A and B are shown apart, each in its own frame.
Chain A
C-alpha cells in the first residue's frame, strides 16, 4: 500500500513564493528554511490580524457597556420605550414624598395612582398617566424599579403581590407650597421658591391647576381647551413672559461689572419722567391718573428703587458696551437651555437675537420689554445667583431615592451650575435690591426714598431684598406683575446668608408692586411666622 503512494503521481501541492533557494536548484519541498520562512512570514500577518480584531471587539465592548449603563435611566424614560409597562406588571410604582416625609403620590396594589393633596402639587409632582409629567415622568425609572433585597422579593412572591418600587423624596416643602398656593389664589401665574445656597426647589406653584387624580377623564378637555387657561402648562418653568423691570437686575449687573464705581458716581436727573436719545424717547411709569412719575436727581440705588425707566434706558444706550452685555447675557443662560433637568422653556433676549439693534429697541431691552422673554424659573435663578455671591447653584427638586424599606439608593447633592457674576458685583446688586424693599432717608434731599416694594420695610423676622416688574404685553394696558427677591434672617445683618429666594409672576395681574409684592409678602410672612 505504501509503495503505491510513493509511486503514484505527485499530488498538487500548495505553491509558494520562490526565493533564492529555488534559483540554486533546490525544490521548495526540500527546503526547510523556505517552508519555515513562509510560515513565519504569514505568522506575523496572522498575529496582526488577530490583534487588530480583538482590539476592535474590546473597544466595541467597552463602548456599548458604558453607553448602556451610563444612559440607563435616560433610555428607559424615552417616550418610545414601552418597558415601563413591563415593569408595572411586576412592581408597584414607588411613592413620591415631600421633604418632610408626607406622601405626595402613592400607588395601591393594582398600581392605581393617588395624589392625596389633589391639585396642590399638580405641576411639580405631575402625573404618571398618559406618558407622565413632572417628577413622575422624570423619575420614572427609579419609581418603577424595585431594589428591595431578594428576601423581601421572595416574601412578595409568596403573598403574590407586586414588589414595591423605590421611593423618591423631593425637596418640596409642604407648608411653603401650600402658602404659595393659597397666596396666589385664583389668579393665573406662578410662584417658585428656592434655597440659593443649594439650589433646592422648595415650592413650585402654577395656576390655573388641575387634579392629577382622574387626569385621564379630563385629558381631552384640557388638551383641546382654547380658553387660554392651559392648565397643563407649568408656568413656573415652561411659561415665558417679558421680564419688565425685573430685567434691570441684569442691567445693573452689567453696569457694575463694567464700572464698579457707578454705585457711587452714577447720577441721573429724571426731569419730567422722559429720557430722550436722538429721536427716540422713553418715559417712566405712568400712574393710574395718566401722569408720568418724576424721579428728579437720583443715584443708582434710588433709580433702581424707583425702577426709573429713563435712568436705565440711559445706562443701556449710553454707558454699556453692547458686546460685553451680550456676553453677560449668554453667561446668564439667555438663548440657551437652562441648567435644569426637567422640561423648561428657553429664555430669549432681543439683544442676542438682533446683532444690529436700533436705539429704540435697545431702550426696550433696558426695561425688559420688546421681544425679551424669560421664565419665572430663569428669573429665580438670576436672583439666586445675586443672593449667593454670583454663584448659581443648579436648581433641583429630587433630594434622594431610597428603597421601599428606606435604604438610601442615591443622594442628589447640590451642584454649581456656574458663576453668573463676580462676588463684588453680586454684593452691590444685592444692596440695590435692598433699596427696593425699604424706605430710606436721603440726606441730600432730606426726603424718604420709597422703593417699589417698600411693603417689606417693616418685616420683623426677615430682611427682604427684591425687584418688582410690570411687563406690558399686547397693545392695550395689560401687564404681567413680577416680583423676584430673597430673604435673610432678621437676626443676621443685611449681609447675612440668604435663606429663601422667591419669584412671583401674576399673568395679566397689573402692576408688580400692587399685585406680586403682596403675594410674596404673604408667603414669606407666613413662613417666618408673622
Chain B
C-alpha cells in the first residue's frame, strides 16, 4: 500500500509541470538578461526535479537490477539534459534558451512515460523486454548533439535557398522509393528498421520539404513558380496518400498551404486552399476504403470496439480514468492501448499524470509554437521567415493531429507527438528542424551584431551620424537627404508614430522576439535601434549597407 506516496508524487509532478509552464510563458513579459538567466535556471531545476520525482515513483514498481538500471538511466537523463542546456548556452551564446528548455521538458516527459510503460513490460528475469527508454534516450542525445552542431554550418544556409527544387525532387524520390518498396513487399510499410532503430523516411522528407518551400517561395512568387511549387507539393501529398500515411499527407498539405499563404500574403490562398483541402478530403473519403473506415471509427468507436475501435476506445478509457490529477504513475493501465508509446503517448500521460498535466503539456507545445512564430515575424529575410514559419506550422499541426486523434476530437491519423512520442525518426527530424530554427536565430543575431559593430566603428572613425546614419537610428537626421530621394520623406510620414513592431524588443516577448541583449555592448544605440519602429533589417545584405559618400571618399576602401 504505497498509494500514499504515489498520490503525493502526482501532485508534486503536476505542481512542477505547472510552474514550468508558467515560466515558459514568462518569456512574454519584458525582462532583463539577469532575470532571464534566473528563469532559465529555475526551469532547468524544475525539469531535474520532475525527472527525479517521476523516476523515483516508477522505481517503487520495480526491483532488483531493473531498479538500479532505472536510477542509472534517470541520473544520466538529468545529467545529460542539464549539462547540455549549459553547454548550448556556452557554445551558442546567442541561442534562444526558452525554446531549448521547452524542448528538453518535452523530451523528459517522453522519457518518463516511456520508462513507465517499459516498466510494465518486464519479463520474469526482471530485465527490460525491450530497451525502449534507453533507445529513446540515445536518440534524444543524438538529436540534441545535432542541434548543437547544426549552427556551426550556418554560413551554408543562405545558399540552400537556391536548392529548393533539388530538395523537392529528392523528397519525392525518397517517398516514391518507399512506396514502390512497400508495393513490392506487398505491405503498407512506412517504417524500416536499421540497426535496431526504426526509421521512417517521411519524417526526414519533412525537413527537405520545408526547405524546398522556403527556398522556392522566398523570392517573388510568380504564377509559374506558384504552379511549380503546387505541383511538387501535391506530388508529395499524393504519394503519401497512396502510402496510406494519411497523417503525414495532411501535415504536408497544411504546411504547403500556410507557407504559400505567408509567401503571397493573400487570404484568398488560405481560404481557397482550405476549400480545396476539404474537397480533396471528401474525394479521398469516397475513393479509399481506409479513409472511410477511419471516419466511421471516429464517429462511434464503441460500435466497433472488438476490432478497429479498440485502440481509440482504450485511449478514451485511459484519459477518463486519469481525471484531473491522474491515477499516479504506475497506477493506471496505459499498456492496454496498442502502440501507446508512439501513437497514444498523450493518452498515457493524461491517464497517469492527469488532465492538468496534459493541459500544461499542450501549453508548452503552444509556447514552442508561438515562440518560433515570433522569431519568424522578426525576420525580414523571406527565406529565414518562411522556414521558421513552416517549422512552427508543421510542429503544431502534427501535435494537433495526434492529440486530437487520441481524444476523439478528429479522426485518428496515427502520427507521433513530436519530441514526446517514442520513435527515433520523429525525434531526430523534429530536433533537426528546431536546430535549424535556432541556427537561423543565431545567424540573425550575429548579423545584427555585425551591423551594430560596423555602425559603431564608422561613428568612431569620425563620421557624422547625422549624415551617414539612417534617420531612424537617432530620430533626427534625414536618411532621405543622404539617399537623395524625396519620396522617402513622404512615405516615412505614413508612419508617424513609433508604435511599431520592434517596440518591445529587448523584452524578448513572444511577438517582440528580436534581440535579447546578449549581443554587443549596452551602449545607447542598442536601445535607440530597437525602440525604433522601422529598423533596417540587419539580415539583409549587411555588406551592401549604404554609407553615404564614404565609398567615394575612400575612407574605408583600402585599395
Contact = CB atoms under 8 A, between A and B. Distances in A.
Interface string B278-314: 0000000000000000000000001001000010011
A122 B212 CA distance: 70
A2 B457 CA distance: 8
Contacts of A65: 355, 359
A57 B400 contact: yes
Interface string B307-336: 000100110110111110001000111001
B462 to A, nearest CB: 15
Nearest to B161: A12
Contacts of A43: 377, 501, 511
Given A68-B355, A80-B313, A5 B501 contact: no
A297 interface: no
Contacts of A15: 218-220, 382-383
B404 interface: yes
B291 to A, nearest CB: 21
B380 A83 contact: no
A53 B355 CA distance: 20
B501 A39 contact: yes
Interface string B252-279: 0000001001100100000000000000
B488 A64 contact: no
Contact of A154 (B4, B320, B359, B536): B4
A32 B539 contact: no
B556 A14 contact: no
B136 to A, nearest CB: 25
A39 B543 contact: no
A46 B377 contact: yes
A49 B545 contact: no
Interface in B337-364: 350, 355, 359, 362
B481 to A, nearest CB: 13
Interface in A274-296: none
Given A26-B483, A63-B409, A68-B355, A46 B376 contact: yes
B514 to A, nearest CB: 11
Contact of A13 (B159, B336, B540): B540
Given A32-B470, A46-B373, A2 B321 contact: no
Given A32-B536, A36-B533, A50-B369, A72 B320 contact: yes
Contacts of A223: none
Contact of A11 (B158, B258, B317, B488): B158
A46 to B, nearest CB: 5
Contacts of B396: 53
Contacts of A64: 319, 407-409
A72 B323 contact: yes
A76 B320 CA distance: 8
A81 B337 CA distance: 11
Interface string A75-113: 110101111001000100000000000000000000000
Given A2-B457, A63-B407, A8 B380 contact: no
Contacts of A13: 381, 539-541, 544
Nearest to A50: B373
Contact of A10 (B261, B265, B380, B541): B541
B259 to A, nearest CB: 10
Contacts of A153: 3-4
A86 B3 CA distance: 12
Given A14-B539, A35-B534, A49-B393, A83 B321 contact: yes
A33 B534 contact: yes
A80 B310 CA distance: 8
A83 B314 CA distance: 10
Interface residues on A, range: 35 or more
A83 B332 contact: yes
A408 interface: no
Contacts of B302: 78
B544 A29 contact: yes
Contacts of A476: none
A42 B377 contact: yes
Nearest to B392: A49
A29 B534 CA distance: 12
B331 A86 contact: yes
Interface string B361-388: 0100110011001001111111111000
A41 B265 contact: yes
Interface string A477-518: 000000000000000000000000000000000000000000
A157 B536 contact: no
Interface string A148-177: 000001101100110100000000000000
Interface string B477-500: 001000101011001101100001
Nearest to A65: B355
Contact of A33 (B322, B331, B492): B492
Contacts of B381: 13-14
A29 B541 CA distance: 7
Contact of A82 (B4, B333, B355, B393): B333
Contacts of B485: 24, 26
Contacts of B549: none
B33 interface: no
A35 B540 contact: yes
Contacts of A29: 536, 540-541, 544-546
A24 B534 contact: no
A33 B495 contact: yes
Nearest to A86: B333
Contacts of A221: none
B93 interface: no
B124 interface: no
B247 interface: no
Nearest to A156: B1
A260 interface: no
B535 interface: yes
A3 interface: yes
Interface string A25-47: 01111111101101111110111
B418 to A, nearest CB: 14
Interface string A326-341: 0000000000000000
B306 to A, nearest CB: 8
Interface string A396-427: 00000000000000000000000000000000
B320 A68 contact: yes
Given A45-B262, A64-B408, A32 B544 contact: no
B332 A56 contact: no
B316 A12 contact: no
A40 B533 CA distance: 11
B403 interface: yes
B224 to A, nearest CB: 16
A137 B485 CA distance: 85
10 nearest A-B pairs in the assembled complex, by CB-CB distance: A14-B381, A13-B541, A64-B407, A36-B534, A68-B320, A81-B317, A75-B320, A15-B219, A33-B491, A12-B158
Interface of B: 1-4, 158-159, 161, 218-220, 258, 261-262, 265, 302, 305, 310, 313-314, 316-317, 319-323, 327, 331-333, 336, 350, 355, 359, 362, 365-366, 369-370, 373, 376-385, 389, 392-393, 396-397, 400, 403-404, 407-409, 450, 453-454, 457, 470, 472, 479, 483, 485, 487-488, 491-492, 494-495, 500-501, 511, 533-537, 539-546, 556-558
22 contacts: A6-B556, A11-B158, A13-B544, A14-B384, A14-B539, A16-B380, A21-B491, A26-B485, A29-B541, A30-B483, A42-B385, A46-B373, A47-B377, A49-B389, A50-B369, A53-B366, A56-B400, A57-B366, A61-B362, A71-B316, A81-B314, A157-B4
Given A33-B495, A65-B355, 16 more contacts: A10-B543, A14-B385, A15-B382, A15-B383, A28-B540, A29-B545, A29-B546, A31-B488, A38-B382, A42-B265, A47-B511, A65-B359, A67-B320, A90-B1, A157-B3, A157-B4
Interface of A: 2-3, 5-18, 21, 24, 26-33, 35-36, 38-43, 45-47, 49-50, 53-54, 56-57, 59-61, 63-65, 67-69, 71-72, 75-76, 78, 80-83, 86, 90, 153-154, 156-157, 160-161, 163
